[in-house]
A = this chain, B = another copy of it.
Amino acid sequence: MHKLGNKFMVAEIMDNIRRVFQVVNEQSKKVEKETGLTGPQVWAIKVIAAEGTIRISDLAGRMYLHPTTVVGIIDRLEKRSLVNRVRSREDRRVVDVTLTPEGLQLVANSPEVASNKITQGLKSLNTPELTIIYHGLDKLTRILDATDLPPALIGSTEINLPKTNKRDVKGTD
């Protein structure tokens, strides 16, 4: 075993945290190239596809984004005829979003988002390897006093990370 200095390890840890951010962003660019859509747009479409039908506010909750932001994303997806907006009949305040046939086709061919890439990578590991990562991140979040924070975002696969996650998550998770 090689003995590493604390200072070295701190620097390396910081670099590696940055690299995780990098992966998210690089993956985002790749997605953008392959689909012609931005990361959040692909992400939204994937969530909609998984749900079949979803309300704006629930979609926002799932994406850990503000409803405002999601409205804009849906606007642009609608303009490209990838999604439909339908006013709910039960509650006429609600807007239900669904995929158009074009949207369905696109989601079938779109590549993974960043969080999925990470998840896939993790799943390929054996237990001892996973354990190392698990304990390392566990300790890291502990020193950040972050263990009590609700997990959110990432998977954003995108440039712009949302500021907070304290919004109307309608228990959709």
Contacts and interface: CB of A to CB of B under 8 A. Distances in A.
A131 interface: yes
B143 A122 contact: yes
Residue of A15, A115, A136, A139 most packed against chain B (CB within 10 A): A136
Interface residues of A, number: 63
A147 interface: yes
Contact of A25 (B18, B140, B163): B163
A149 B19 contact: yes
Contacts of A163: 25, 28-29, 159
B143 A20 contact: no
Interface string A133-147: 111111111011111
Nearest to A114: B144
